[in-house]
Amino acid sequence: MKALQHIRLLDLTHMLSGPYAGMILADLGAETIKIEPPGRGEGTRRLLEKDPNNSLNGMGAYFLTLNRNKKSMTLNLKSEEGLELFYELVKTADIVLDNFSAGVTSRLKIDHDHLSTINPRIITTTITGFGETGPDNNRPAFDMVAQAMGGGMSITGQPSSPPTRAGIPIGDLGGGLMGVIGVLAALAAREQTGRGQHVDISMLDAQISLLNYMATMTNLSGSIPGQLGNAHFVHVPYDTFPVSDGYIIIAVITDNFWANLMALVNAPELDTEENKGQPGRWKNKEVINQRLSEIFQTNTQAYWIGQLSEARIPCAPVNNFAQALSEPQILARNMVVEVEHPEGGSVKMPGNPIKLSDTHEDTFTPPPLLGQHTDEVLQSLEFSATEIAALREKEII
């Protein structure tokens, strides 16, 4: 059993932020019907499709990953008959998810005001770059726009380098995660009120939220932080250190961790009364980091991770993707799963990070071919084969 298997989601999303939200909800069991325009389908269906290294049977990595556990239905929402058919689907649905630009759902007559007259319990969710209100609500935005305006880029990278975006598309993915949280909150509220509502998610809002305590520090101190590389605003040593065959990180955030570190490494010049507290370590940050770099370079990553872990000092190897995806801890938690292609073959990809103790079924159906489930969905609405054939003839589906 899956937690959301009683929920029907109409997924109108494209690219990354919206499809990622839909993927998480689908992994959790929501019957997710991906509605795509007839012909070429959603844009990411074609992305990397001809790349021999990053596609499988003509389906690129984006689509393979983001659309597992979903069904595909083609539907022309710009036609009157297609719109009426969508309204029939809405009667049976719980959620409509999109990441169109602000105002598009109103123009298409698929916004909450329209859909709630058809189904008062419907929850609509729109993920946009800037949200649906405010002076910038109509500006186009992609991942790096949100990262740049949200402040995160200004503290990322080495002090001497230009501002650097996060390596993972946290602007898009942050918006998707907030979209999932919004949907789940609206579902919980509906249990109390009996009514659906609209969820307005801004990728930029998400980035501001993720600044968290660092934003509060700026407001308290009036000091604008800059780039610290992999160092921390408060804790020392908290950084990346070279070893003989790569890099490790250590994160000493308490005085006890520092004491454990001093007992492990041979550095009497660092084991001073002043350095026993955070203020002293912060004052002597450069000396501490330089000496630890010299010490850690004397042995391998595996050696130091073993020694530091045994001493209960927070640490980690700096893994590349292949190393991260083969970590025993990751594999033990089913965070690398094999998903089949509908026409044969399979591909490994990240699993579902949400682990539930009861409704914990963890299965993954293949990402769908374009329109693969159109007939099935229409049959669930009691359309006959003749009626479905007529809709196909008129290019409604």
Q: Which residues are catalytic?
A: 232
DSSP letter for each residue of 50-84: T-TTSEETTEEHHHHHHTTTEEEEE--TTSHHHHH
CB 99 within 8 A of CB 180: no
How far apart, in whole angstroms, are the C-alpha atoms of residue 357 and residue 70?
Answer: 24
Instruction: Note the Cα 209 to chain centre separation in Å.
Output: 15
Tokens 């069904």 map to which residue? 71
Partners of 124 in the β-ladder:
96, 198
Beta strands in 8-141 (DSSP E): 8-11, 31-36, 55-56, 59-60, 70-74, 95-98, 123-128
CB atoms closer than 10 angstroms to residue 301: 20
Quote the radius of gyration of the chain (alpha carbons, Å): 25
For residues 373 and 35, is the Cβ–Cβ distance under 8 A? no
Residue 47 structure tokens = 């992305």
Q: How far apart are the first and last CA of the chain?
A: 32
Burial of 289 (0-12, 13-18, 19+ CB in 10 A): middle
Q: What are the residues facing 96 on neighbouring strands?
A: 10, 124
